[in-house]
Structure 1
């Protein structure tokens, strides 16, 4: 699993994006609709930041910002660590662990977002691997 390419992990999976002028409330609604704990913030289809649940709680709610009147660009994380789709998934997990974050945007060589990895993707991959192992074991049991 750690050697699988990120492109294989995300496999064209859609991900939420928004623009810098979106309000924090609107961003939270988009995240709810997508069942995502993060949203990529773009400007002219280039990644400029990421807004996570932590950003909303710590930078907006805890600072008494009005979510309906605060632009997501004021609370988002800027200078986001990102990774290319041709890198191993294990490298992304290492970057997330070392940086202490749970999400990492996947961008192409032009800075355009092509996906969003989350730490829980490791569990999803492990689950798939485990499912395949169980199927193989059942096949072997039938043969024996």
Structure 2
């Protein structure tokens, strides 16, 4: 299975944050959308980072409540690992596990087309494994 299949099932909606947005506002957006991370973009729309709940918590631990006045740009993870729609589910899971990340933006020809979480991928992997197991049971039963 490829990420384009996951995105077609999940949808390509991506919550983005302007890199100049305050962490206070960003935290509200994450909460409102019930998500753990959002892609940070520059005013021109180019991807420049990912802001996760973990990034916000780290800044609060370092700066106290004053951290909420910091911008997304000051707290986000800048070294963004991305994938393409043709990346396989297994390759994406491996990449996320190796780099200890939970969210993977999907980029096609330089444009952000979606984002997948580790939860999205594990859910699809479990479904595929269950289908495979059921097919094996039917094959064995048909003898």
How far did 1:127 drift? 5.1
Q: Deviations over 1:89-131 (max 9, x none)?
A: 1111111111011111111112x21111111112321454477
- TM-score for the superposition, normalised by structure 1: 0.81
Task: Specify the alignment match of 2:53 in structure 1.
Answer: 53
Greater per-residue helix proportion: 2
Is 1:5 aligned with 2:2? yes
Kept after mapping to 1: 8 A contact 2:19/2:73: yes
3-state SS in 2 of match to 1:83: coil
Is 1:73 aligned with 2:73? yes
Measure the CA separation in 2 of the matches of 1:135 and 1:94: 25
Task: Specify the alignment match of 1:26 in structure 2.
Answer: 25
3-state SS in 1 of match to 2:98: helix
* Unaligned stretches of 5+ residues in structure 1: 140-144
- TM-score for the superposition, normalised by structure 2: 0.82
Measure the CA separation in 1 of the matches of 2:31 and 2:91: 28
Change (3 A) 1:89 1:127: closer
* Unaligned stretches of 5+ residues in structure 2: 139-143
> How many equivalent residue pairs?
136
